[in-house]
Structure 1
Amino acid sequence: MAVIGIMSALHEELSAVLAMLPDEQRVSVAGRDFWVGHWQGHAVVAVLSRIGKVAAATTATVLLERFAADTVVFTGVAGGLGERVQVGDVVVASGFMQHDMDASPLFPRHEVPLYGRARFVADPAVSVQMVLAAQAVLSRFELHLGSATVANFRLGAPRVHQGLVISGDRFIATSAERQALRLLVPDALAVEMEGAAVAQVCWGYGVPFAALRTVSDRADDAAHTDFQCFIREVASRYSLAILSQWLSQRAAA
């Protein structure tokens, strides 16, 4: 049976997923707890990647080597960079890049040394499935969040975007940093701290990788406002509903 690896960076993001694995068993490897179980008939391994590129790459490597995941999905939050990307929207990555990778002048800026590339493409088939699942969930977002949560975070009609997600080992939380990134990588839709590292690992192993990120902030001076509350009340609910929809679609295919 194919094994699906599900990664999240924060406890609040992963807890909702673990609640859906009634037969999960904990396996500890490399200081991490991997939860092995089933969800909608699929063999699943869920794990907390921890925050940052090195931690995420380490976790992904163990997930592939020890648990033989055939597909890896990352779910969590990100800061919105694209002009039309708003808080409460969902970004499904089409590709990934490390915005803080710079080995120039030995290599072009952003290019990963000895890989001959700066960007790693998300798996097209899985990403399309994620887009369809996200669209289905967001079409009835108030049902999943509740009217009080929608009002509290002043969420409009959320949209699904697909495009470049960039990663780096710092939390972008000022308007100046956000503007600098927009000038540096104009086509980036969102910024986070893990995806590009996991994409590089999965590319090396030839394993399909996809990522969906709920936009928690605009990566500006207000990025820290109610961050944990947003993850708990909005992002984790989106992740749970979208992954459940995606797995249901895969089972029916």
Structure 2
Amino acid sequence: MEQKHAPPVGGSGNTQTDAAAQTDEFTAALIDSALDEILSTDECFVSERQYIDASPDAFLEITALGERALPYLESIASGTDEGFRPYIAMAAMYKISPELYDREFVSPDGRYTLRAEVYSFYQTIVPYDNICYRLRLVDNATGEVAAAPYDSFVFADGIDNNIGWSPDSKYVSVTQSYRHSYTVTGLLDTSRAEYIQLPHAEQVEDIIGRPLSLHSDDGEYDRVHFRPIGWGDDRIYIRVSLGNSDGDMVDVGWYSYDISDKNIDYIEHIIR
């Protein structure tokens, strides 16, 4: 890297090493100064996106550094600083190198790609430390976006194990998890370019005629989790589990969902 600043007095004798050290010091100072400016507002923002939108020039100072900023930004993002500083650092890393965080899931027939793009690295309205994604269904033949459901999909235990294509490539399941709170599953129908939210707890309770909860000596299991366990012809099978506040889980049954008719057509062993 070209040396653009005077070397420090009393260097190590290795000009290349001193130049690199000086550049790193300059880069770190610029990043810290820009982050301080971004965070200097008195506004009570709820996401790092709002901080960045309020100080676009300061954010640009960071991202204009390009890949040489990544090591120091990573040290901030993985550090122990509280507040929004680590998340703004992550957002800068993402702006410089989107492939660090974006994910792609290609259909079995290769026709579609479900692209997960970062929407926000942190929002106080989401009660956990999670990346929020926006999902885009892309037609690989044209490169056009075939479907774009709502933003802010959250995957508390990571996204990679929560996206699943049907064997015939007609549907892709999207399972959002909120740590020990609850888990819900939806579907993207590629033929209709439509996002379908599968039945939630209240709908299942209406069918079985009782609350989705269990009482035991180690607490109440009243946090409902719906996860896909298999596919049929225009059908998805969903396991139903209940969890407690400690994250312990117990399976209580499963149901079959007819995607064409958009209803539950079979329930097995829910609450025995």
TM over 0.5: no
Q: TM-score range by the shorter chain?
A: under 0.3
TM-score by length of 1: 0.20
TM-score by length of 2: 0.19
> Hey, which of these two has a bigger chunk of helix by percent?
1
Question: Which has the higher Rg, Structure 1 or Structure 2?
Answer: 2
